[in-house]
Amino acid sequence: MNIFLILFLAILAIAVLLRFRVMIGLAILAAGAVMWILNDRSLATLWSSAVETATLPRTYDLIFALYFVMCLEVQLRKSGTLKGMVEALNRLFSSSRITLAVMPAFLGLLPSLGGARFSAPIVQAASEGMNISPARKASTNYYFRHVFETSSPTVPGMLLACAIAGIHLSDLVLHLIWFAAATFIVGWFVLLAPLKGEDLVKKAVSTGTSRLTDFGNVVLAISPVVLNILLMLIFNMPAGIAMGISVLALIPTFYFLKRPVPIKDIFLEAFDRKLLLNVVMILYFISLLSGTGVLDETLAALKALPLPTPVIFAMLSVLVGLLTGMSQGYIAMAMPICAAIAPGSLTYAGMAMVFGCIGQMLTPVHLCFTISVDYFKADFFQSFKQIFICEAILAVIFSAWTYFTWA
């Protein structure tokens, strides 16, 4: 059967099941079943994909990273730090909309899957008193969380991309830093500018005591993120271990500051069975993509199309991003081709990063999308529509920029 027809039927299965509010992990797993039935039908493939999912260190690193992110959210919320930080930022920026954009973008520097679960409570707290739909909250949290996805040296995908393409990290960051600014601006006008009438202006004159409290709340909230980044960059720790250390470090800190959070509450309230099951099912789906041969056949079919090489490369990057929902996924597939087509080319490397990210942002396979929609109990399709508008604009901007600056 034609590989594009298989992909269409798999995507259709996801869309139909989501319309009936089936759990997103099950919907994606159903798409994997469609691919397996139409392209493989070998029980050995199901088993080998399950074994791969269960034995890859990545699986456990992602699960523990996400779990500890939720533990951290419980700590910050129950200690009053989260609320205090939002109030401090509102006083600093005098606009809730700025807080809604800046905090998820900053926390996007946290290179762990599921970081959207950490920024979601901040978006929720910052939007209190504003008439914002759950769908817009979800899309705002999800979109701004990924502003620096293509230009941050702390994102694992960037490190992997440079290693494969043979490009220095600083060169690729400088090549794409303008795109991060464009991403922020587009998101502001599409998602937050329409909320001008709902903005809450909260700036007030602060006393010396309140300024000190504000500073303490901001430092307490940001320090786990900074510690996490330092542990991963300096000591090369996996995200799950680094985040776990950050959580443990905060326990005595809050007791010392007389803001204790019961240890039982931290570790029990953070356990979200539905979310963790979604993670496992999505990872199994990604293994099925390779095991059934769908991913390899898709790449081969794209290469055979009678189109210019840059167009095919852009399409390939978008499609792999759509299928895997992970930066490591589209980078692992697209960057080796980039290195073969034009070794050391910043133009091709930039295309792989940006178009792969656009595909990644437009798929329910992307775990941060799942987390945001689940957290805000939002309508998937309403959130998707807002994200699609942003990504379509960015695709046009980057395509035009690449065309006129081709080197």
Burial bucket for residue 370 (CB in 10 Å: 0-12, 13-18, 19+): buried
Q: Nearest-5° angle of CA 72, CA 76, CA 81?
A: 155
Range 36-39, long-range pairs (CB < 8 A, 24+ positions) = 36/288, 36/292, 38/1, 38/6, 38/9, 39/1, 39/3, 39/6, 39/292, 39/293, 39/294, 39/297
DSSP string, 181-223: HHHHHHHIIIIIGGGGGG------PPPHHHHHHHHHHHHHHHH
| Tens-level pLDDT at each residue, the chain (407 residues) | 888 899 889 888 887 887 787 887 888 899 899 999 999 999 999 999 999 999 988 788 878 887 887 888 788 888 988 778 777 877 777 778 888 998 888 777 755 545 677 788 889 888 888 889 999 999 999 999 999 999 877 676 776 688 777 788 778 888 999 999 999 999 999 999 998 776 665 555 555 567 788 888 888 888 887 887 788 778 878 878 888 999 999 999 999 989 999 999 999 988 888 878 888 888 898 889 889 988 888 878 877 888 887 888 898 889 888 887 877 667 866 777 777 777 888 999 999 999 999 999 998 888 889 889 989 999 999 999 999 999 999 999 999 999 998 86
- CA 125 – CA 52 distance, rounded (Å): 39
Query: Within its chain, how far is the Cα of 52 from the centroid?
Result: 23
